[in-house]
Structure 1
Amino acid sequence: MGVAWRAESRAVAQRLEAVARLYTIRKRQYVEAEFWHTDVYEAVAAEVSAAQNLSRWRAGSQVNTAVSLFERLPAVAAVFARGDIDYRMVRFALRRTANVDDGTIGELDAALARHITRWMRFSDKKLTDRLDMWVAKFDPAGVRVPPAAKDNRYLDVAPDSLGMAFVGGVMNADDAAALDQRLEALAATVCANDPRSHNQLRADAGGALGRGEVTLACQCGSEDCPAAAVRESAAQVVIHILAEQGTVDGTSDNPGYLSGFGVLPAEEVRAAAGKKTAKLKPVRTPAAEPEKGYRPSAPLKDYLRWRDLTCRFPGCDAPVESCDVDHTTPWPFGITHASGLKHYCRTHHLIKTFYSGPGGWRDEQRPDGTIVLTAPTGHVYTTEPHGGELFPALAVPTAPIPDADAPRDPSEKSEKMPRRARTRDEDRRARIERERQQRIELNAERKRQREAWLAATYEPPPF
């Protein structure tokens, strides 16, 4: 176990060092990208995402960790590379030293490298305290300031188990109280014979609240139910479910797909399709002839949406609702057809467009929607449409792709890239400066309070 643990740490350190080296290379290569919206961090994250089949968020987090570790804590990185500490220790060290002044971080790094191996047994709380103690020795203003609780509020809605979703978060107390009362009020609109538990009624009330309904449909099954009022809706809410016709008809139990949440059991699909407000719309395979305009027609966009389901970049699972439709070969040289169109999220669309050309990203598309991407390193990655994998009828070749060579991108193409007001490093330094100033003020206030307490309790000698 010990040998395997050390080998794991060495392997992670080696991987992060490779990411940091790649960032150094790309930073020299893409000098003009510092103020680009999709900057060098995003460009390197795209390569990390493709190489490791990670989401954009996880790849970006890895880039930030690797660059910070090898630029700010190289001595700690060397201890990590020997397998003497693990990734947890590295993350804590980076987090607690993030605000340390650049002129001081080298000395602190050397001190941490000498002591950090003895802290592996510490709990998260004890480890935080020990790291903060060493930061305070070298740079008192660099000790992290806990964020205000109000700044950490959030509300997540995410896929959970099959056909279910998780909803949870931290809200302002008055908002949470209003939500709690609204759920209770909706849950109370059913009759006493409704078979659901109180928790189940509150959960179902959340759905009714999302649809803007003022009452919850009772499930007692009685024709004389006193709660059988007509439900009203204050908002027009639309959800999209993809399923085979046999699933809707009941002749098949193949699951469907709820956009943004994943696979949906067949019985859930039929329940949704059986509602009075449900609209059933067939997904039609595009005609063989490409369309003439730049923008795809509504039926073609509908087909592309269900064929792809997510961004087509390797590792990216951004839903199509937040993606752009991209011509694989730039229009008008490429075709406006399912064989020549696919979805990229905005970041990967910009990377494909602006980090392309000789030595950059290149992509090609097959008639069945398969995308073949070649990275700047020459590595080749293939992605199949997610909808086509779940529903094979959507992965059939739609039309042959005519040969077309688009001219090279003009040298002034970079002028069209969306720009940042400040670089990523400038944003980081501004955040650190704000937090350091908070720490200085907190330290000054603590010193003032201590001196006031000493003055109030001090008794001069009797002579």
Structure 2
Amino acid sequence: MTTTLGSFDTSGVVASLAGDEKHSATELVEILAHCRSIIASADYRMLCAASLIHDERCEDFLVEVGEHDSGQRESADEIMAAGMDHLAGRDPRAEFGPDGLERATAEVGAVLDVPAAKAREIITAGDTARYRLVFTGQALAVGRIDLAGFLLICARTKLVTDPDLAKILDTHIAQALFERPPLSRARLVAMVDTTVAMVDPDALLRRKERAATDRDVTIRPDRFQPGASRVSASLPMTDAAAIDARLTAMADSVHSGDPRTRAHRRADALIALAAGLDYLTCGCDTCTQAVDTEPDVEIDAAVDPAPAVEQPAPQPIAPPVGPARPVFHIVVNLSTLLGLDDAPGYLDGRGIIDADTMRALFADAQREFLRRDDHARAAAAASTYAPSKKLEALVRAGELCCTFPGCSAPAWSVDLDHTDPFDHRDPHAGGQTRRENLKPLCRFHHRIKTFDTRWRDYQSPLGEAFFESPTGHMFLGNAYTALDIFPALGPRPKPDNHPARATLADKRSQARAAHIRTIDRYEDADPPPF
């Protein structure tokens, strides 16, 4: 009997899609959220199915092995030989063909039409969801995270090998996922790595050793763009951050008239580094244009011309600031820096780093100390549009990335946005430059918030940044921040009965209700077809 997979009746799908065309944007947003939950639930079931196939194929393999080899050894020499094979890394069962994992990998890969490596990742994740991170797997099953998020958690927790510690880790991660709205990738990574450092500090050191062991650089033809090649590297986090920062510094060292985009300049900077240069040659007109030293002029033979003055051609100008110096930002507790504890730090754009690595990076770093009372001191500049350096450091250090929902742009490379617009005519009238009115936003989301007035944003006294979409849906953008990692930056209390929560909840409900009423009036006045 031959079974064909993937055949189904499409009439129901087509009918539902036709019905979606009649829904409003508000209803379509609910459909998006529903589809996300359904996909996550289906992915969880897929992982479990792959894991169950793995279990069954392992049983089949063991039965076949048992038919030929009972595992018993009749002499000391046979026992010794088996022990030596184990020490040498030889599999005594290799002669019986592919094992259970290999058989399941081939089967899952054929069904899902994915390479063997991807099929093996799915099987391993299924085993993790069923046996190791059970509660976190349930978060995937009910749509609190997506498949990519769960695979990320599996990868970043695999070095916690103690079963008891793995159970504790699973509990803490699942609790954080169920207590908070969905997190962006940067916030999810920070939360998971912080939890790993709390439960099993040695795992950070093992991760550091693994990163050093697995370092590699590959250069291959680009499969999707003929004539181009793709460069990829697996490097320790700090080394990668240093290279990234140097490329950015070199790209920013040229004159403003350089016609290349920043991406092009970073690519050229990498080529310059490979050529042994520590700077990027500027490409602006002033630095590159050649001047004709022999002007084409007709000269009368009867006139004794004056001798021509030879003018040297201008040479390309070196970068205006000399060799580019890489810059990256680290947030750390002073107690850790002084060696009083080994709490991890946060490397902007990269994530959690262990204490020893962090202290080594701080050896020649420029330091800025933030204190609890710095918030009051920074408020003295509230009447100016640009925040002071101290206030800017407080805002950026208190966040992990852009505060817009789902965005992971690093906090130190994005804009600082006034939640309530700054009043340039009368700074005391509203929108002052204070900590509670500032938040990091990447340039894309900053422009969306500024020019698309249907988007609204609110910032609570608790430091929470809420965004209301054009359809009236409310999203919390910074459910996990650096304040959760470094409480000394300024504790953010979250009691359920805090008066600020009730006030803000009422304000959001009233604004959302008014917005929905406006949409209803518009649709009643101009019903389909528009």
Q: What TM-score range do you get, normalising by the shorter chain? A: 0.3 to 0.5
**TM-score normalized with structure 1 length:** 0.40
**TM-score normalized with structure 2 length:** 0.36
Bigger Rg, which one: 2
Q: Which has the higher contact order (CA 8 A, sep 6+)?
A: 1
